[in-house]
């Protein structure tokens, strides 16, 4: 393994992400380039990211905390340190957190690593870059979401608790294989499956938000009912707020070549099927969707319902956010998610929900006040149907539209001896006993 300390020029992603992002973050950063965990399906290996020797040459962005501090200031945020030395704001309420919230521009939730590197990979033990990033966010009172496959995150539990108290901290573990022998082949240098669940349990006990990203589920090897139900049951036992199942993408080039060479060696019986599934060489790595062994999300939805755990991440209300507005936003995002990703409905159908979600995410007047003053329609520039949906959510916590969607999804429920699989001839989804 080769380690190299480098100086980063920039850190935060440039573009603000959309409201329907699966983890409800609007910026992200990576403290490392490359990842020692060496998951055989890792997207980071692809030529698309221009990182050679992704799993064996780890570049450590040693100045990442410093760059982050500069970039946050450029975005208009102030740190606690600055607040303490300022007199200009002394007329504001004394509570520091309130003063910061009043002064700072719209809050951002930062995805700390987990995009194309793991912030808690082995190099973090010595270099502590992710820890310093969390310290910086704590100083700015800004929320963080961490996606990891390592129990090293427990080292920072003190910091995460503090951050959670003043802003918000959410730790999501990627866990894709219940059987740890298979995990050793597919995610060779990541923490074991039991260790990841144990770490999640400890964080949840400490009051930190968290769930499980069961993505990517490797076709045939991970798409068994046994694997997915096992993961959902463990997630529930660990106190996860949700488990999100998703399919695997495989970009043509070195990512696909490496993945297939491992499958050929360790799972020869699955090799031909998997190779054929990605024979389309889609540039984003999408498989031939209707040739997948199962519809991972739909089966995931059914299993989650049976186990009693949420099947998608939660849009939490952050400190200083309006409770009612963000409860409505949460339901709108669920509608978009179920329509787009689970039922595969055309984009047009979810557009009004998506557009309103973006508005609410950016901040609008208190919806309860708008409702009471009969100003929802003009205040949000929405049609009568959307007014009715928003009103129902404010008054009851859900809406008929959402209930109908859920009953559409229940049509796919088939019991634990069957799968939603693709029909070889027509390519359509069908239910079949297994
Ligand atoms: S932990 Fe994530 S970034 Fe690291 S090798 Fe695995 S998939 Fe890639």
Under a CB-based contact definition with an 8 Å cutoff, are residues 392 and 400 in contact?
yes
3-state secondary structure of 58: strand
Taking the C-alpha atoms of residue 240 and residue 411, their distance in angstroms, rounded to an integer, is: 26
Q: Is 231 in the pocket of ligand 1 (CB under 6 A)?
A: no
Taking the C-alpha atoms of residue 259 and residue 84, their distance in angstroms, rounded to an integer, is: 52
Segment 327-371, tens digit of pLDDT: 999 999 999 999 888 887 888 888 999 999 989 988 899 999 999
Atom 3 in ligand 1: which residue has the minimum CA distance?
A: 117
Residue 418, pLDDT score: 45
Give 342's DSSP letter: I
Residue 60 structure tokens: 């450590």
Residue 410 structure tokens: 């229940």
Backbone angles phi, psi at 287, to 5 degrees: -75, 175
Taking the C-alpha atoms of residue 393 and residue 414, their distance in angstroms, rounded to an integer, is: 30
Residue 416, pLDDT score: 41
Taking the C-alpha atoms of residue 50 and residue 52, their distance in angstroms, rounded to an integer, is: 6
Residue 109, pLDDT score: 86
- Gap from CA of 336 to ligand 1 centroid (Å): 28
Q: Which residues of the chain have pLDDT under 50?
A: 89, 102, 415-418, 434
Backbone angles phi, psi at 400, to 5 degrees: -60, -35
Residue 347, pLDDT score: 83
| Domain residue extents for the chain | 2-307, 326-398
> What is the CATH topology of the domain spanning 2-307?
TIM Barrel (3.20.20)
Rounded to whole angstroms, what are the CA distances from 384 to 48, 74, 104, 332, 388? 45, 41, 35, 16, 6
Residue 410, pLDDT score: 77
Best residue for ligand 1 mutational test, from 118, 153, 196 (most atoms within 8 Å of Cβ): 118
Q: Which atom of ligand 1 is nearest to the CA of 41?
A: 7
Residue 417, pLDDT score: 39
Residue 18, pLDDT score: 64
């Amino acid at each position: 393994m080769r380690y190299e300390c480098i100086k980063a020029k920039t850190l935060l992603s440039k573009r603000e992400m959309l409201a329907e992002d699966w983890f409800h973050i609007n910026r992200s950063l990576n403290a490392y380039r490359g990842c020692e965990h060496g998951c055989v399906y890792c997207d980071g290996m692809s030529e698309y990211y221009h990182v050679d020797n992704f799993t064996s040459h780890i570049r450590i962005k040693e100045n990442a905390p410093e760059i982050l501090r500069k970039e946050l200031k450029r975005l208009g945020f102030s740190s606690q340190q600055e607040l303490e030395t300022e007199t200009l704001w002394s007329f504001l309420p004394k509570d520091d957190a309130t003063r910061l919230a009043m002064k700072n521009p719209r809050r951002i939730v930062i995805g700390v690593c987990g995009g194309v590197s793991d912030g808690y990979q082995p190099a973090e033990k010595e270099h502590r870059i992710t820890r310093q990033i969390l310290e910086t966010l704590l100083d700015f009172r800004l929320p963080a979401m961490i996606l990891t496959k390592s129990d090293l995150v427990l080292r920072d539990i003190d910091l995460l608790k503090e951050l959670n108290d003043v802003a918000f901290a959410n730790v999501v573990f990627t866990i894709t294989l219940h059987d740890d022998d298979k995990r050793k082949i597919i995610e060779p240098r990541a923490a074991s499956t039991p260790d990841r669940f144990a770490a999640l349990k400890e964080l949840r006990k400490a009051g930190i938000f968290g769930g499980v990203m069961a993505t990517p589920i490797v076709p045939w090897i991970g798409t068994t009912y046994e694997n997915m139900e096992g993961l959902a049951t463990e997630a529930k036992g660990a106190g996860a707020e949700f488990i999100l199942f998703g399919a695997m993408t495989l970009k043509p080039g070195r990512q696909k070549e490496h993945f297939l060479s491992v499958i050929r060696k360790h799972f020869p019986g699955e090799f031909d099927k998997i190779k054929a599934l990605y024979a389309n060489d889609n540039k984003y790595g999408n498989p031939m969707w209707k040739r997948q062994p199962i519809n991972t999300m739909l089966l995931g939805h059914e299993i989650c319902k049976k186990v009693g755990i949420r099947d998608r991440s939660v849009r939490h209300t952050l400190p200083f956010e309006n409770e009612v507005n963000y409860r409505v936003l949460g339901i709108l995002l669920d509608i978009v998610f179920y329509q787009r990703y689970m039922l595969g409905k055309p984009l047009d159908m979810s557009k009004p929900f998506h557009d309103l979600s973006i508005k609410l995410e950016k901040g609008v007047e208190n919806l309860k006040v708008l409702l009471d003053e009969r100003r929802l329609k003009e205040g949000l520039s929405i049609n009568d149907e959307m007014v009715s949906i928003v009103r129902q959510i404010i008054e009851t916590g859900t809406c008929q539209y959402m209930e109908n969607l859920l009953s559409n999804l229940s049509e796919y429920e088939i019991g634990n001896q069957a799968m939603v699989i693709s029909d070889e001839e027509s390519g359509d989804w069908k239910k079949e006993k297994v």
